[in-house]
Amino acid sequence: LKILRKIDKEYHIEDFAKANKKNSDDAIAIRNLLNYYEIIGVGIESDIYDIAMIKDAQKTMIIRIYEQAEPFIIRSRQEDNNANLWIKF
């Protein structure tokens, strides 16, 4: 979440999905964060994690992260021509 706050103040987050910044440390940190929550989503869908427990523990944080990262997700899907990126987030 700290990385998203830093980027939000200094840059447009969607720029980190572009080819010229895609391999930057910040872009990698964003993708790692999104991948973590994608794993949580897959775990919920696979009945590994209890959705009620995840909601109780992290609902506000998950919503905040998604709202801040959504422009990055949209741009990444366009850049990679892959509408399924982070679809389980």
Asked whether 70 and 34 are in contact (CB, 8 A), the reply is: no
Average pLDDT, the chain: 93
Residue 47 is given by DSSP the state: T
Each domain of the chain, given as residue ranges in start order, spans: 2-80
User: What mean pLDDT do residues 77-88 have?
Assistant: 97
Confidence of residue 1 (pLDDT cuts 50, 70, 90): low
Which secondary structure element, helix H or strand E, spans residue 2, and what is its range?
Answer: helix 2-10
Q: Distance (Å, rounded) from C-alpha 23 to C-alpha 21?
A: 6
DSSP one-letter code for 18: S
Does the pTM surpass 0.85? The reply is yes
* pLDDT of 10 strictly over 80: no
| Per-residue pLDDT tens over the stretch 22-49 | 999 999 999 999 999 999 999 999 999 9
